[in-house]
Amino acid sequence: MTYTLFDLTGKRALITGSSQGIGFALARGLADAGAQIVLNGRDEAKLAKAAASIPGATTLAFDVTSHDDVRNAVDGFEAAHGAIDILVNNAGMQHRAPLQDFPAEMFEKLLQTNIASAFHVGQAVARHMIARGYGRIINIASVQTLLARPGIAPYTATKGAVANLTKGMATDWAPHGLNCNAIAPGYFDTPLNAALVSDPEFSAWLAKRTPAGRWGKVEELQGACIFLASDAASFVNGHTLFVDGGITASL
């Protein structure tokens, strides 16, 4: 076995929602594997600060929920700078409320941010990848792709959709040389989970519920992302890889 299978030197990766949290950690991991990094978000100041800590990283600010904004940004970047070889659809949000009281406007916002964005950016980037006959798309799903908890039913719905969209991408685009897969993180210590991390009762429950007995560290997602972005995963397509400390394996 040769470790050059995991070498991403010469590849360019666009990671959405990557100024902090899981997206930023994945960007750093891909950079360590040799990829040139393009960070995305809407806050240009936060993006610039994040890019400063990744050698050679550039930024591309656009709203992932706007089809036209995405298309213009991706097409413009490709024309000016060249190929995007790897796409990580990471942008996402959470909102917690009992389902019977869940605000309709927040439901719509979750749909746009968590699932429509993967369609918008995936399609815009895939059109260029198809023309070149090569590409890697990695969508970020969740442990809620398979499981549910009270108060987050719409989030759970969007993450289930991410896994099935990933299968659809693979089915349509594998014939054109693209590999489309997903990573489903368990419970990780991120800004999105700040309210849960600071709740001693929830953290105690999580430690008992997860075979590994703890919160995940965002750096522990990097290996899965590098694998799916690399030649080591050349025959892996339409798969959702759970990185969850065993929570989906155990009752």
Catalytic sites, residue numbers:
155
What are 112's two structure tokens?
């746009």
**CA-based radius of gyration for the chain:** 17
Is residue 251 domain-resident? Answer: no
Percent of the chain with pLDDT over 70: 99
What are 128's two structure tokens?
């260029």
pTM of the model: 0.96
Is residue 94 domain-resident? Answer: yes
Residues 144-156: tens digit of each pLDDT: 999 999 999 999 9
- Domain limits at 45? 3-244
Helix intervals (H) in the chain: 21-32, 44-51, 67-81, 104-110, 117-132, 153-173, 194-197, 200-209, 222-229
CA within 13 Å, CB half, 193: 19
List the helix and strand counts (H, then E) for the chain. 9, 7
Is residue 157 domain-resident? Answer: yes
- Tell me if residue 180 falls in helix, strand or coil: strand
Residues 135-182: tens digit of each pLDDT: 999 999 999 999 999 999 999 999 999 999 999 999 999 999 999 999
Distance CA(72)–CA(144), nearest Å, equals 32
Residues 94-128: tens digit of each pLDDT: 999 999 999 999 999 999 999 999 999 999 999 99
CATH number of the domain within which 58 lies:
3.40.50.720
- Please give the tally of structural domains in the chain: 1
Q: What is the DSSP letter of 215?
A: P
Is residue 119 domain-resident? Answer: yes
Is residue 249 domain-resident? Answer: no
Residues 203-213: tens digit of each pLDDT: 999 999 999 99
Is residue 186 domain-resident? Answer: yes
